[in-house]
Amino acid sequence: MRSDAWATAVAHPNIALVKYWGKRDEDLILPLADSLSMTLDIFPTTTTVRLMPGQGQDSAFLDGIPASGQARRRIAAFLDLVRDRTGSTVRARVDTVNTVPVGAGLASSAAGFAALAVAAATVYDAGLDTVGLSRLARRGSGSACRSVFGGFVQWYAAYPGIPDPDQASYAQPLGDVQLELALIAVLVDTGPKPVSSREAMTRTVSTSRLFPRWLAATLEDVPAMRAALRDGDIARVGAIAERSAMGMHDTMEAAVPPVRYRTPASRHVLGLVRAMRARGEQTWATMDAGANVKVLCPPGDAPRIAAELASMSGSRTVIAGPGPAATLTLGDW
């Protein structure tokens, strides 16, 4: 490890087709169930980590603006995990450039911590393979472990009884998916979300009477989605994805106090998607921890459906397809 080492990595957001919602270990970020996702080819995050010998604490800049408080502490705690592995005490400067609105349910933390994991593991010479990088990214933000890989991905929960769950919980790409799938992001609201997904998740698990039912459904949805992806059956993929997402929102709306990410604008778009499907279009909706709606459809239909959704909702739409794994793009280490 050279004292002036630096590395730059790029990673893309992922959208879960079967959602992750609920942890069984808040510190290790172990989920209560497996989840399945598609890494996107839009909205990349680029992160540079530069070792700063002599600097007293880690510094972080998000789109050029110094991070403070919780955001800086979360990055510093993540770098501590990397330093713990390598025995280094050298602090670092982190520069992150997002192309996606932060905190709007567009998976900026997934891309951000995946890129940070790859860049930090490189400069600190942590000697991690892709599974190790996925485990590390998970400790920054659960869904980030999926953005280490491209295409369709499964995150293993490491169910109770597994001897070393930290080791056993990581993501892997699915090698047997035949599906051609597009995702249209309908940007109804790109402002920050009212409640962080971390807080919302904890509140849902501890207070929502619907949560046990949702968890049981997820345990059934994972193998059903695996089979639908393997079969390339877009109608089954869409139906399972939509019920996973809507069930997740139902369970958080039953939390005390409720977490409401679905706004009137979201509900309008959800209604448009249902109406399109009723007239024979292959369209299904999913949503994450924010008001924006993502629409799944066949790639050939995406430009037409995106244009119609944009004109009916007045919102910007962006078409995505399966995207690449997180990669190192530059460095001097």
Inter-residue contact 105 to 292 (CB < 8 Å): yes
Shortest distance, position 29 Cβ to ligand 2P0, whole Å:
5
Round to whole Å and give the CA distance between 225 and 205.
Answer: 23
Shortest distance, position 309 Cβ to ligand 2P0, whole Å:
21
Complex with ligand 2P0: residue 59 or 147, whichever CB lies closer: 147
Q: Crossing angle, helix 211-231 and helix 234-253, to 10 degrees?
A: 170
Complex with ligand 2P0: residue 34 or 58, whichever CB lies closer: 34
Inter-residue contact 108 to 100 (CB < 8 Å): yes
Can you tell me which residue has the tokens 């448009």? 272
Return residues touching ligand 2P0 (CB under 6 A): 16, 19-21, 29, 35, 109, 141-143, 197-198, 201, 288-289
Shortest distance, position 248 Cβ to ligand 2P0, whole Å:
6
Complex with ligand 2P0: residue 159 or 333, whichever CB lies closer: 159
Complex with ligand 2P0: residue 51 or 273, whichever CB lies closer: 273
Shortest distance, position 105 Cβ to ligand 2P0, whole Å:
7
Complex with ligand 2P0: residue 67 or 90, whichever CB lies closer: 67
Inter-residue contact 280 to 274 (CB < 8 Å): no
Q: Please tell me the number of Cα atoms within 13 Å of 234 on its side-chain side.
A: 18
Shortest distance, position 14 Cβ to ligand 2P0, whole Å:
7
Complex with ligand 2P0: residue 6 or 149, whichever CB lies closer: 149
Round to whole Å and give the CA distance between 218 and 232.
Answer: 20
- What does each C-alpha distance from 110 to 10, 99, 154, 324, 332 come to in angstroms? 12, 13, 14, 14, 25
Can you tell me which residue has the tokens 């911590």? 113
Complex with ligand 2P0: residue 10 or 18, whichever CB lies closer: 18
- What does each C-alpha distance from 207 to 8, 33, 275, 277 come to in angstroms? 41, 18, 34, 34
Inter-residue contact 257 to 249 (CB < 8 Å): no
Report the DSSP pairing between strands 35-39 and 14-18: antiparallel
Shortest distance, position 123 Cβ to ligand 2P0, whole Å:
23
Shortest distance, position 155 Cβ to ligand 2P0, whole Å:
8
Nearest residue by C-beta to ligand 2P0?
142
Can you tell me which residue has the tokens 């989605």? 225
Element (H, E) at 267: helix 264-278
